[in-house]
Amino acid sequence: MKQLLITLALAAAAGTALAQATPVGLWKTIDDETKAEKSLVRISDVGGVLTGKIEKIADPTRQDANCVECSDERKGQKVLGMTILRGAKADAGKTVWEGGDILDPNNGKVYKLLLKPIDGGKRLEVRGFIGMAMLGRTQTWIRVE
């Protein structure tokens, strides 16, 4: 009986670890230059397609900021609550999510997107690029929940 309980506990823990190895959840974004927290982004899965919205902006002076540089339907919208990540889908092995795009609300530019959970899902590599994935930059986001 004791061995059965241990086995069940280990199986439950493994299931939790696997569930966390996805981009779905709340993420802390980090400024590339200052290494300070910039925002919190919640990534959701709707029918196998990921979207990400800004839930919190760390800088209190930017709480009411609008995306003045955006050139699509988000132009002039509030950055807080804005969908900045959209359309990513899992590859066959569910180790990378690709397709879709990500918006940098600071400059209004939209990039192709590649997401890769690392460290058992505790961190997320977010790669924005134009053309080929080699021509871009990667940020590492930290899981909050």
CATH architecture group of domain 2-143: Beta Barrel (2.40)
Q: Which of 54, 50, 20 is nearest to 40 (CA)?
A: 54
Q: Give me the sign of the Cα torsion angle 98, 72, 55, 111.
A: positive
pLDDT of residue 3: 54
pLDDT of residue 20: 54
pTM of this prediction exceeds 0.75: yes
For the chain, what are the domain ranges?
2-143
Low-confidence ranges of the chain (pLDDT < 50): 1-2, 4-19
What residue spans of 1-145 are helical by DSSP H? 2-20
Torsion of CA 74, 56, 45, 117, to 10 degrees: 110
Give 119's Cβ-side CA count (13 Å radius).
Answer: 8
- SS3 label, residue 77: coil
pLDDT averaged over every residue in the chain: 88
Q: What does DSSP assign to residue 132?
A: S
The residue assigned the tokens 């990513």 is: 88
pLDDT of residue 11: 42
pLDDT of residue 15: 42
pLDDT of residue 70: 96
Question: What region, left, alpha or beta, does residue 144 occupy, with left being phi > 0 and alpha being psi -120 to 50 degrees?
Answer: alpha
pLDDT of residue 8: 37
Q: Which of 51, 66, 25, 54 is nearest to 113 (CA)?
A: 51
How many residues does the structure list for the chain?
Answer: 145
Q: What does DSSP assign to residue 82?
A: -
